[in-house]
Structures are given as structure tokens and as C-alpha cells.
Amino acid sequence: MATSVDAPVNAAARLEYDPLNPVVKHEPYPYYTELRANEPVKWLPSLQAYGVARYDDVKALLSDGRLFSSSMFWPALLGEYDPVPEVPPMISMDPPGHVHLRKLANKAFVPAKIKALMERTREVAHELIDDIIAKHGTEGEIDWTWDFCSLYPVTVIAQVLGVPLARRAEFKVWVDNLLSAANRAAYDEERLAVIRESSDKVRRFFEDLYDERAANLQDDLISDFIQAEIGGERMTRLEVIQMSILLLIGGVETTTNLLGTTLIELHRHPETYARVRKDPSLIPALLEEVLRYNPPVQIIFRHTMADTELGGVHIPAGSTVMPLLASANRDETKFANPEVFDIDRKIEVPLMSFGQGPHFCLGSYLSRMEAKSALEIAFERFEVLEPVSDEVEWLDSYFARGPHHLKVRFKVR
């Protein structure tokens, strides 16, 4: 059902897309529309990179891991704050090395393994809601972002990995600090020292955990990684540690943001909210539409290995290219009325929200399952769960999208 549209693009005043402009970060969608129409491959001086806005171009470049290399992903994101600089994580590897690690890691993420986790994710959601009630009573106001959305995925992934629950808040702080390294050029020494400390702590933590598990295997992911074998080859100690850190980084903020944005879209589309409340079987369709319409990862990065051409634009070897995933999801040649939030739409092509091609998100089943369980339980336990304001303070990021804070009124049943 079509319920509302974003503000239309002002055709008279051409919008200049600069991902670092605060106005763009707050509401990038009109700029993506303009790019798709007029400048689908655009040089972005502020980031010294080419932005790619149309679905077909995004898909083509993500499918070609040899020409559009991932090798600069981690260095661009973390730079000298990479906790394990000796080995790249698979998200920053190209074929054939990537394929080998991916096969090993895949074993831990097959749908049957994720299904087995479902009961535990439901318990985590109940426990967090119990904590909210213990702290705030049966009605009042909470920060949905911190009190639920942030703690939930980090608790799930900590458990999957085999990390003691008592350390989950520390974990969340490490991940946030590591991710903030993307803005390191703008930080002073004090802030950089905090990132350094988190980077060192996360490494030490996983070194110790690896050694404990290697001596005494358990039923957790680190133990699975230690034992996983393909063609007689296993992951090295540092590869297991780097993989664990990648999962921590990849699995925490993304799912947190998906849950935060979902509540915002429900608030903006009250008819949809009423329908989903009445019929929780609509939750998966709701999540797919949030993933399309306002995805947690807006942009990723590639690096050209040779001169090439995309959308009629010449791109020299050694350039940074940024597929604008969130723009591809609103490409009018692939999605009917793309600016309309519509949980009944028939999605006929793959969304770009989890990427595409060899690096397609390893956690897509897990995050969909986690988000579904969380919403089912939140709607079951809260009679009221409603943002108090129409204004949203989005994260100050051009590639991650989700609310920084989201004050909501709640009342338990």
C-alpha cells in the first residue's frame, strides 16, 4: 500500500551531491535521484572518488571482483587502527584468496545454523525488554537506539562468537570506536588515542579467546573457525582473530540501524504500522521494504585495477569507486514508484542492501532473522512503542544510516 513519498526533487535547482555535506547526510535520497537522472557516474572531489548511482552499474561493478578490487576496503575504513594489520579480513580480499576464506566462514552461516540460533535471539530480545521494564517501569520513555537496538545484535553476535555476556557493553564501545576510525582525518589526538586503545583491546581479547578455545573447543563460532577445513587447509590464528573482528564490526551496527530505521518508517507510515501490529506475518515484508527504502549501508568502496569505463565515464586505474547501494535500491528502471514506501510491493530484482557478487553479505540470513525476532517480541510485549518526535537525528555518517538516538514512548501490555 502506498502511504507517503519523500520530498520531491526541485527540478529548477540542480542538487550538488557531496556525501560530506551535512544536508546530504541528513537526507541523501533527492540527491541520489538527481544523480541517477543526470550524472550516474560522478567524480566526488571531497572524497576523491567516483560515485555510481544506477542499479545496473552498481550490480556490474560489484560482480567483477577482479577489475573492481576490495583490497582497499579495510585500509580505507580503519587505516592504522586495524587491530590485525598482518592479515586482511575477507571483506578486503580479492579472488582467489577471498574464495578460500569465504568457503570456510560460510560453514558457520548456513541457514540451518542460523535457524538453530533463533530461540536464543528471542530470549535475548525478552531479556532486554525485561531490563527496560526493571529500569524504567511499565511505561515511559526510552532511547530505543541504545536501550534495545544497540544492545540486541551485539548480545547475539557475542554469544555466537563465544564471548562472555558480561562484556557485551564493552564490546559495543570497541566496535563504535573502531568504526569511527573512518573519520580519523578529522579527529584530534585525544580521540585517536581512544580508538587506538579500543583497537588494542579488541585484539588482545580475541587472542586470549582463541588460545582458550584452541586448548578447549566449545560449541561456538570461534571453535568452528578453528576446526573448519577445506581441502586440508585451516585458517591461521590471526585469520580467525581477524574474521571474528570482522563479524563483530559487520554484525553489530548494521542490524542496530535496521531496527532503528524500521521504527522511524513505521512512525512515518502509521497505516503500515497499524497493519503490521494486527498481522505480525507482515514483518518480513516490512523489513525488506526498509532494507530497500532506507538501508543501513548506503555506500561501499572499490578500487579499480585497470582503466575502465562505467556509465560512459572513463575511470583510470587506481581510482576509488563508491557504489551507492541506497541509490540503486530506488532506481526507477527496476522498482515501480521507488520513492514510495510500500510493504506490498513485488520486488523483482535483488536489493543492493547486502551488496552483490562475491562479497554478498555473509550475515544476511542472520540479520533478517534477528530483526524479525526482535520486532515480533517488541510488538508482543509493548502495547505502545512510538517515537516522540517527527524529527530524526541520523548518524553523522555518509555510509552508515540509522538514528543516532530515538526517543520513544513505551507502554507494556
260 binds ligand HEM (CB under 6 A): no
Termini Cα distance of the chain: 28
Residue 343 sits at the vertex; the CA angle it makes with 146 and 269, to the nearest 5 degrees, is: 60
247 binds ligand HEM (CB under 6 A): yes
Q: Is residue 67 within the footprint of ligand HEM (CB under 6 A)?
A: no
Nearest residue (CB) to ligand HEM, 41 versus 362:
362
User: Considering Cα of 15, then 16, then 17, then 23, what sign does the dihedral take?
Assistant: negative
And the C-alpha cell for 2? Answer: 502506498
The nearest distance, CB 225 to ligand HEM, in angstroms, is 12
Contact of 225 with 104, CB cutoff 8 Å: yes
Q: Does 65 bind ligand HEM (CB under 6 A)?
A: no
Is 51 an interacting residue with respect to ligand HEM (CB under 6 A)? no
Q: What is the largest CA-CA distance in the chain?
A: 67
- For the bound state, the minimum distance from the C-beta of residue 227 to ligand HEM, rounded and expressed in Å, comes to 19
Residues 158-172, buried b or exposed e (16+ Cβ, 10 A)? bbbbbbeeeebebbb
Each residue 261-300 as x (binds ligand HEM by CB under 6 A) or -, in order, gives ----------------------------------xxx--x
Cell triple for residue 370?
534477528
Q: Which of the ranges 34-42, 199-207, 261-269, 348-356 carries the binding residues for ligand HEM, by CB under 6 A?
A: 348-356
Q: Exactly one of 51, 83, 250, 387 binds ligand HEM (CB under 6 A); which one? A: 250
- Please pick, from the candidates 42, 334, 359, 401, the single residue that binds ligand HEM as defined by CB under 6 A: 359
Task: Identify whether the C-beta of residue 257 lies closer than 8 Å to the C-beta of residue 367.
Answer: no
Question: Which lies closer to ligand HEM via its Cβ, residue 359 or residue 410?
Answer: 359
Q: Is 258 in the site for ligand HEM (CB under 6 A)?
A: yes
Q: How far apart are CA 171 and CA 398, in angstroms?
A: 23
Whether the Cβ atoms of residue 242 and residue 84 lie closer than 8 Å to each other: yes
Total binding residues toward ligand HEM, as defined by CB under 6 A: 26
Cell numbers representing residue 209 in the block? 579467546
Q: Say which amino acid occupies 48.
A: Q
Does residue 320 sit in helix, strand or coil?
strand
- Residues 146-165 contacting ligand HEM, CB under 6 A: 157
Instruction: Identify the helix (H) or strand (E) that includes residue 56.
Output: helix 55-63
Shortest separation between residue 406's beta carbon and ligand HEM, angstroms: 16
- C-alpha 167/C-alpha 334 separation (Å) is 44
Find the part of the chain contacting ligand HEM (CB under 6 A) among 176-184, 192-200, 208-216, 249-257. Answer: 249-257
One of 145, 155, 198, 254 touching ligand HEM (CB under 6 A): 254
Binding footprint of ligand HEM on the chain (CB under 6 A): 70, 73, 90-91, 102, 157, 246-247, 250-251, 254-255, 258, 295-297, 300, 353-355, 359, 361-363, 366-367
